[in-house]
């Protein structure tokens, strides 16, 4: 990335046009059609996890509303007002908005008020806002954004068009990171970008922050090995090897592999969570109809398909039950290492026949 006037990727590549928005196609299409057909509601509520584009789309929407009825080159920034309810949540802050709402815009037809983190408003502030929301002036449009929809009072919800934003898929995030990497002349392995996307858990903003971190760590050459090392992520190869040992009833290999994982600094519960996700992916591969739920590179997907063919579905489900129980009990266990090891022994014994279980020799 350019060393002069460095701008973090989350700001530098923040979308300013509809086409640049990632992973929210349904919502952007609906909002554009509302503008084109002049069927604008007076209040919108954007809900969803952090970092998925709520505030970004609110700003694009606010800008587009006036541009649709005027000259696209006109400056309508004075028609857009933003309030961060996390730090401005009092009755006086809402009264300032209601006072501004009464004044019609000098340019354009609409004044748009964006209230971010609206769930942080106090109860009295909600009540003060309610009257304005019930009978807003014809030139006013409100866009409310929140990560916690359940905290919004029903009387506010009933007066808004509600849009539920979804988490952005791993592949969409990875493709977006690839586009940015190409622009910034950063070499990348696509599998590394998939790991960053998975770590971000559906939040594009988090993924961009991790990407900047990896650019610095890798000196513009982002590899899979460097990503799993820097972000403290367990390599999926561990889980493939562990599952193979389960299938071969090789308890000793399981214990040695788990010891290696602990020596590399990984927590036992992190390992259990990763192992559970691995088993879930194997189960997903059992049927072609659910294969689309597997978000990984084609090479890794092929490994999952090959391994799941060696294991019965019932064994995978039984494994998930054992792992889930171990995960729940992990925190209260006095000997957490032994707790995980006992679970590994159970997993390595799942496909043993009754006769083999009696005669198994653990030497």
Residue 61 CB contacts under 8 Å (≥ 6 apart), including other chains: 31, 35, 44, 112, 143
What's the first-to-final CA gap in the chain, in angstroms? 56
Distance CA 46, CA 162 (A): 6
Residues 33 and 119 in one domain: yes
Residues 122 and 40 in one domain: yes
pLDDT of 353 > 60? The answer is: no
The answer to whether 91 touches 57, Cβ cutoff 8 Å, is: no
| The domain boundary residue, chosen from 108, 143, 164 | 164
**pLDDT tens-digit map of 101-124:** 888 887 777 888 888 888 888 888
- 112's enclosing H/E stretch is strand 111-116
Residues 111 and 183 in one domain: no
Q: How confident is the model at residue 92 (pLDDT cuts 50, 70, 90)?
A: confident
pLDDT of 180 > 80? The answer is: yes
In a domain, 56, yes or no: yes
Distance CA 267, CA 261 (A): 8
Domain that includes residue 310, residue range: 236-359
In a domain, 269, yes or no: yes
Residue 2 confidence (pLDDT): 47
Residues 142 and 195 in one domain: no
Average pLDDT, whole number, for the chain? 84
**Residue 257 belongs to domain with CATH number:** 1.20.272.10
Predicted TM-score (pTM) of the model is 0.77
Residues 198 and 258 in one domain: no
In a domain, 14, yes or no: no
In a domain, 277, yes or no: yes
Residues 36 and 129 in one domain: yes
- If you average pLDDT over residues 184-193, what whole number do you get? 87
| The domain boundary residue, chosen from 117, 143, 164 | 164
Domain count, the chain: 3
Q: What is the DSSP string of 242-285?
A: HHHHHHTT-HHHHHHHHHHHHHTT--HHHHHHHHHHHHHHHHHT
Residues 205 and 257 in one domain: no
> What size, in residues, is the chain?
363
Residues 192 and 254 in one domain: no
**pLDDT tens-digit map of 233-292:** 888 888 999 999 999 898 999 999 999 999 888 888 889 998 999 999 999 888 888 887
Residue 74 confidence (pLDDT): 56
Residue 5 confidence (pLDDT): 67
In a domain, 15, yes or no: no
Burial code of 207-242, b = ≥16 C-beta within 10 A, e = fewer?
bbbbbbebbeebeeebebebbbeebebbbbebbbeb
Distance CA 245, CA 106 (A): 72
């Amino acid at each position: 990335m350019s060393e002069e006037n460095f701008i973090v990727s989350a700001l530098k590549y923040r979308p300013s046009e509809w086409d640049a928005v990632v992973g929210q196609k349904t919502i952007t299409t609906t909002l554009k059609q509302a503008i084109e057909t002049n069927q604008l509601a007076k209040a919108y509520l954007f809900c969803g996890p952090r970092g998925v584009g709520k505030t970004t789309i609110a700003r694009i929407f606010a800008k587009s509303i006036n541009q649709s009825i005027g000259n696209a080159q006109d400056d309508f920034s004075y028609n857009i007002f933003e309030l961060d309810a996390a730090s401005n949540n009092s009755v006086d802050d809402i009264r300032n908005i209601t006072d501004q709402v009464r004044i019609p815009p000098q340019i354009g037809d609409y004044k748009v008020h964006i209230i971010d983190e609206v769930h942080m408003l106090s109860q009295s502030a909600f009540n003060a806002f309610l009257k304005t929301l019930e009978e807003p002036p014809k030139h006013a449009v409100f866009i409310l954004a929140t990560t916690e929809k359940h905290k919004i009072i029903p009387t506010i919800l009933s007066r808004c068009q509600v849009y539920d934003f979804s988490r952005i898929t791993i592949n969409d995030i990875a493709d977006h990171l690839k586009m940015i990497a190409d622009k910034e002349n950063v070499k990348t392995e696509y599998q590394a970008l998939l790991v960053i996307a998975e770590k971000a858990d559906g939040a594009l903003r988090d993924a961009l922050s991790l990407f900047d971190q990896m650019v610095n760590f890798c000196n513009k050459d982002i590899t899979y090995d460097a990503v799993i090392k820097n972000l403290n992520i367990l390599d999926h190869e561990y889980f493939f090897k562990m599952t193979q040992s389960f299938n071969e009833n090789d308890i000793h290999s399981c214990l040695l592999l788990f010891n290696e994982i602990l020596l590399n600094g990984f927590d036992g519960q992190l390992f259990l969570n990763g192992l559970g996700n691995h088993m879930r992916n194997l189960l997903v591969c059992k049927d072609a109809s659910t294969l689309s739920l597997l978000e990984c590179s084609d090479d890794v997907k092929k490994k999952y398909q090959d391994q799941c063919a060696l294991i019965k579905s019932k064994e995978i489900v039984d494994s998930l039950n054992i792992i889930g129980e171990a995960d729940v009990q992990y925190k209260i266990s006095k000997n957490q290492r032994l707790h995980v090891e006992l679970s590994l022994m159970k997993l390595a014994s799942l496909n043993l026949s009754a006769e083999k279980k009696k005669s198994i020799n653990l030497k």
